[in-house]
Amino acid sequence: MPLRTIVAALLLLALPASVHADIEALLGKYATTDDGCASGAKPEFEIRRGIVEGPDLLCILGAPNEAAGGDEAYEAKCTQGKKVHLGVLTIDRSDPDHIKIGLPESQDWIALYHCK
């Protein structure tokens, strides 16, 4: 079993049950286009319990953090290429058509559309 999977599983054990419920609604595969992955291209992102994974990106989620408005936030360790970012990963669920993810140390949002 890969080390990152083991670490993610251990972090999940430390999270309160309410956090598990919030993440449960987000589990699945996502694309950065709004066609619901119908274009035939493979999904670009996947959210699993305690993990957000995308092209050249792996984020391991930890404890929940306070966020503004209706956002969700988690302490996270994100690896992009060879660079590691520690901080808060934010998830904006305010739009019913897609979610937006803000990575630690980034001012940009990534819009993700759930694959159907």
Comparing 12-21, 50-59, 68-77, 86-95, the range with the smallest average pLDDT is 12-21
**CA 64 centroid distance within chain:** 12
H or E stretch including 5?
helix 3-14
C-alpha–C-alpha distance, residues 94 and 92, integer Å? 6
CA triple 73-84-115, angle to 5 deg: 55
The percentage of residues in the chain with a pLDDT greater than 70, rounded to a whole number, is 78
Which tokens go with 65? 């953090």
> How confident is the model at residue 40, as a pLDDT?
67
For 35-58, the pLDDT digits (tens) are 877 776 677 899 999 999 999 999
Above 90 in pLDDT, residue 8?
no
C-alpha–C-alpha distance, residues 22 and 114, integer Å? 16
> How confident is the model at residue 13, as a pLDDT?
46
Above 70 in pLDDT, residue 88?
yes
H or E stretch including 110?
strand 109-114
Using only C-alpha atoms, the chain has a radius of gyration, in whole angstroms, of: 14
Residue spans per domain, the chain? 3-114
CA triple 81-37-72, angle to 5 deg: 60
Residues paired with 91 in a beta bridge:
72, 101
